Every structure is written in structure tokens, then in C-alpha cells.
Amino acid sequence: MIYTVTFNPAIDYVVQLEHLTQGTVNRTGDEAVYCGGKGINVSTVLTNLGIENVALGFLAGFTGDAVENALQRKGLRTDFIRLQNGMTRINVKIRGACETEINGKGPDIGPAALALLYKKLDAVTDGDDLVLAGSIPAGMPGDIYEKIMAALQEKKVRVTVDATGDLLLNVLKYRPFLIKPNQHELGELFGRTLKTGDDIRACAAKLQDKGARNVLVSLAGDGAILLDETGQFQEIGVPRGTVRNAVGAGDSMVAGFLAGYLKLGTYSYALRMGAAAGSATAFSDELATKEEILKLLNTF
């Protein structure tokens, strides 16, 4: 079983504007609403691929109701914790000549709610996968990912962490199965700009030295580089296509990688599935379907 955890789910309200003028009324040319969060995106693509999983996390208010109802209509299996106060955040994403985002804060998650999450994680057993993805709300313990991994140390659980900064660096001592920084995030971890493949490989190796078993670095239009736990580097490009939506492409890559690894148990196939899933989402208006992913898989 694969479990995903999203601490700060969201409703993404995406609007298209030719021009954004401050101090006056702006009218949209097009608009769409998506329910997501990094872990939820992973769960959605896994579900599209027919991989059984459970989406865990926290929801609150009428926006939380909307998120859960939308996900269940899509066939996701959810087991969210309902918070008594606040509301699940709404993120406004403005697309036009340039892209602007206004992200909501999200509800406060107190000790009692966290205790309920740990109780749900008791169901995770040997051989399961756990995906910890995305940022954590303000006010939460900054070491929450570490504490979750520490609690699971006695179990043989493959943990994937898709996060940035210290949230990622501090879990490496627990030897996560997979981490997936993008090129920019990888550079930020070391306070430098990564300009070449050698730069990327050197930084990926440092993260592996710190404990990560597999380091998957997404390179946007240039594909991805994987440093697997055998110490081998593998690289993959991207298929031809028109990028329509970058939101969720990295999460789709994580889902595809895990699906590919579960199917064949090889990192080469996992990388191909990850690249196909990430590209399929980038070429779509929403998160990729199984048909879209398999169509691109055959191009590698």
C-alpha cells in the first residue's frame, strides 16, 4: 500500500488574464478550479494508474468539504483528519504575460490533530510506501517529517520525501528511499546555481552521502537525472509536446517513479515511468491519465 501525506491541501483557483492591472477591476478570460497539494497530486496520478493508495492529511471548513468531495468523485481513497477551526486554503494562480500566485495560509494544526495522524500511520506496515510531500503550515513543528520517519524506523517502509530546504535536509539521516528536488531546489540546498550536468551530479552525490538512497533531480524541459542507490547515474530526456501546465508535473514524476518501481523493481523503468508521467501532466490541462502516461512511455 502507498500512503501519501499532505499537510496543507488547497483549492487552486486558476485564472487567465491577458493583463493584470493593479487598482482596477480585472476580468478573467478563462478560469478553472483544481483540488490539490503535492501529496494529493501524487495520490491522484497513482489512482489514475490503478495503483492502490490512501491520501492522508488535514482538511477544514467548507473548502475542506469541497476538496474531499472532489477527490472522492475522482475515485481517490481518502482518510483525512478534520480540523475544528479554520479552512483549507485557496490558492489563486494568475496566468498571463507572467504567472503570479497568491497562496493561502491554511488552518492551524494542533497537537491533538497531529496525534491522530500518528495513529493513522500506525497502519503503515513492512513493505508499504509513504510519501511526505510539500510544505508544512506555519506554526507546525519544523521537524515533523523527521519525527514521522523516526516513528517508522522499526518498520521496513520506503519513504519518499518531496520537500525543500531544511525540511528535506534534516530527514536524510533516516535514509529516505527517494527524494526529488528540481534543479533550482538542489542548488538552493548548497547555496549555488547549478549550470552543468556535472554540477547537478556532484550535488546529488552529496545528498546521497548524507543518507538519501535515490536522488531524482527534475530538470524541467531537459528531463531528469537519477542517482540510484547502487551509485549509478541515469539520465532521461523529455518527449516532444507542448507544455500547457507545469502544476503537478513534479508530483506526477514521483507517482510515476513509484508505480514503475513497484511494477518491475528496476530503477531504469521507474525513471522512464516517472519521466512519462511528469511530461504527460505538463502536456495536459490536468493531472495525467493512465492513457496519456502510457502513450508517452512508449516514446522513450
Place of cell 475544528: 84
Contacts of 107 (CB under 8 A, 6+ apart): 58, 60, 61, 83, 85, 86, 87, 88, 89, 137
Question: Residue 48 CA to chain centroid, in angstroms?
Answer: 15
251 tagged catalytic: yes
pLDDT in tens, the chain (300 residues): 999 999 999 999 989 888 888 899 999 888 989 898 999 999 999 999 999 999 999 999 999 999 999 999 999 999 999 999 999 999 998 887 777 889 898 899 999 999 999 999 999 999 999 999 988 887 788 899 999 999 999 999 999 999 999 999 999 999 999 999 999 999 999 999 998 999 999 999 999 999 999 999 999 888 999 999 999 999 999 888 888 877 889 999 999 999 999 999 999 999 999 999 999 999 998 899 999 999 999 887
**In this structure, are residues 48 and 290 in contact, taking their beta carbons and an 8 Å threshold?**
yes
Predicted confidence at residue 203, as pLDDT, reads 96
Shared fold status for 1-19+29-129 and 177-300 = yes
**177-300: CATH class:** alpha beta
Residue boundaries of the structural domains of the chain: 1-19+29-129, 177-300
pLDDT of residue 158: 97
| Catalytic residue, candidates 126, 199, 251, 285 | 251
**pTM, to two decimals:** 0.92
Q: What is the pLDDT of residue 246?
A: 78
Q: Does domain 1-19+29-129 have CATH number 3.30.1360.170?
A: no
